[in-house]
Structure 1
Amino acid sequence: MIDLKSLLKDRFDAIASRILLVLNQLDDQQVNWRPNEASNSITNLIVHMNGNINDRIGKGMNNKPYTRNRDDEFESQVKSKQELIEMTETMFGEVTSTLISMTPEQLSELQQTGSRAQTNIEIFIQSVTHFSEHMGQILYIAKILKDDAYISTTVPKKSTR
């Protein structure tokens, strides 16, 4: 039988790893670059993911106080590469530690997300999909910025031996 928690943890770990590999290829100016006013920078995307985690997992599952202003996550802002690395490590650390520590009963608990109720496991599944989408945007921005100097972030598959 598939262990859903381990599978999700592996996906979250792979997303975090690939984002960190990209961040380590870029400088402070590049992580804040926006192709145009209607588009996001890598900073915006990571700040947005952090807001999502703080809201749904920190507040929703771990009862941490948090007030989110989602629109502010997409405003022009400047963060250092190091701040984004630390934010990425912290937010994915909270996601995976929360996921692994949850009992089946806790995974089945409902929380209100927007206008609908979702179980915590549904939130984890939705989050891994959501973060994969934003990781793709981050990788694409990095490829645009680095051109031929871009180093692939593909995470090697685990050995089955």
Structure 2
Amino acid sequence: MNFQQIYLDVISKRFKNLKEQGDKTLSQLNHEQFHWTINEESNSIAVIVKHISGNMISRWTDFLTTDGEKSTRNRDDEFIDSFTTTEEILTTWEKGWQVFLDAIEQLTEADLEKVITIRGEQHSVIDAIERQMSHYAQHVGQIIYIAKQVTGSQWQTLSIPRGQSQNFTDAMVKKHQ
């Protein structure tokens, strides 16, 4: 397997893992928790979901052939919490990820050598992918952090539980021997 295919496989796996962390986080929230903010300048989880989805749909629809900032996108509107139901939030989350993951899965090794545009600025396809990895990881991290705050002691960890690091490491080493 060559480097380009390895890269495509790795990013697919990493982005799917990022979505899974978001999925597991969102599943722990009730309707009010999606809309909670610490102050007027902060974004709720609902708003972050709306923004991520808007970004994904804009950037990854016709990714290789059109500018990543589509004229149909209203980025400013993404920061207004207009959701009335939890289902709307989850549908928005899924729609963005579907567009994005479909685009990632369709990339070929040759596509990695292409150049795309975002707001008129040229980027290599690899740079555009890495830019989005950073962006989406930042926002999923925000979602997780806010969710931990609003769920408190009800939070179900997404990784190794506190005090279990050595047991986890030992099990992983044993598994891979």
Counterpart among 28, 35, 57 of residue 25 in structure 1:
28
Alignment of 1:1-150 (within 5 A): 2=3, 3-61=6-64, 67-150=72-155
The higher-RCO structure (CA 8 Å, 6+ apart) is 1
Q: CA RMSD in A?
A: 2.6
Read off the aligned partner of 1:128 and give its amino acid letter: M
* Identity %, equivalent residues: 24
Instruction: With the length of structure 2 as denominator, give the TM-score of the two structures.
Output: 0.78
Deviations 1:92-138 (A, max 9, x none): 23222221222223233222212521122321211111100001100
**Bigger radius of gyration:** 2
Please state whether the residue corresponding to 1:44 is helix, strand or coil.
helix
What is the one-letter code of the residue matched to 2:42?
Answer: S
Distance 1:146 1:68 in 2: 32
| TM-score normalised by structure 1 residue count | 0.85
How many Å apart are 1:89 and its aligned residue?
Answer: 2.5
Tell me the SS of whatever aligns to 1:14.
helix
Runs of 5+ unmatched residues, structure 2:
161-167
Count how many residue pairs are aligned between Structure 1 and Structure 2.
160
1:153/1:86 Cα in 2 relative to 1: closer, same or farther (>3 Å)? farther
Distance 1:85 1:160 in 2: 36
